[in-house]
Amino acid sequence: MSNIATREAYGKALVKLGDLRGDVVVLDADLSKSTKTSEFAKTFPTRFFNMGIAEQNLIGAACGLATAGKIPFASTFAMFATGRGFEIIRNSVCYPNLNVKICATHAGISVGEDGASHQSVEDIAIMRSIPNMTVLVPCDAIETEKMIFEIVKYNGPVYVRLGRSAVPQIFGEDYDFEIGKGVILREGSDATIIACGMMVNEAINASKLLKEEGINVRVINMSTIKPIDKEVIIESAKKTGAIVTVEEHSVIGGLGSAVSDVVSENYPVLVKKIGINDVFGQSGKPKQLMEEYGLTVENIINKVKEAIQTKQ
């Protein structure tokens, strides 16, 4: 099965959704070729709106369409959606609890050569801090499509974080995505790895190598960051006694912080966080950047071993 970027799957899912629902409209901020909303624009030109390089207007127009009974999907790069669009998202989308879906692509350092100005490593933290906002991060193309079809049925603000780089397929066509539920991909009792987005595949690969050394690790795909699945986190803390979180995002305010909140209040165990350690990104090839910032199978393995050693 070939690798597919979640942004590619998003573009295809929108077209499928558009065939089924006439109330779905799509907006973009002059980046439709990159966000892949251009596919929807070609198929449904009267239901697509290019707002130009004006992200606040992009979100504001989506709000207006939502109040008129449409289901707007607003897209641009994650840096601009959550950065330039923050005030409108807070005051015009989430405060009145409007049914707007913000699907931002090119998140994280895997944007690559575009560099720090375009590499959003703060977007999850920003979005999960806003009341009424649901925050989702699919790990592959299958989950992306299932997620898009699920959020159209959900009434309320949603932020979906999508990537530029192609990623391996993890789920089959029979997978059922559910908002607010983590998925256990591999079982184990020595430690738990909780990952999201493109780091889920790395977590799986790390667990396989650890298995060869006699270390059995539970792996969870936490594609819903908010509302997070407290039940599976607490269960994992009790069963394994140590957790390693892995995300292509700052260690401040993202998946690791959300998991730590749950653990500290319900069943305190060691949580080690792998992510961007309070620094900006830089220009480079995606693979080089992942290695530079420790988003690798090797680092996951080392952190798991450290966590197991500490709990003992």
CB 192 within 8 Å of CB 256: no
CA distance 160 to 175: 18
Q: What whole-number distance in Å separates Cα of residue 98 and Cα of residue 62?
A: 9
**Crossing angle for the helix pair 6-20 and 141-151, to the nearest 10 degrees:** 40
d(CA 272, CA 263): 12
For 81-91, b where at least 16 C-beta lie within 10 A, e where not — what string?
A: bbebbbebbbe
| Helix, strand or coil, per DSSP, at residue 16 | helix
Q: Which of 225, 290, 288 is nearest to 262 (CA)?
A: 225
CA-nearest of 25, 14, 34, 253 to 128 is 253
> Which of the residues 55, 122, 145, 247 is marked catalytic?
55
Residue 55 appears among annotated catalytic residues: yes
Catalytic residues: 55
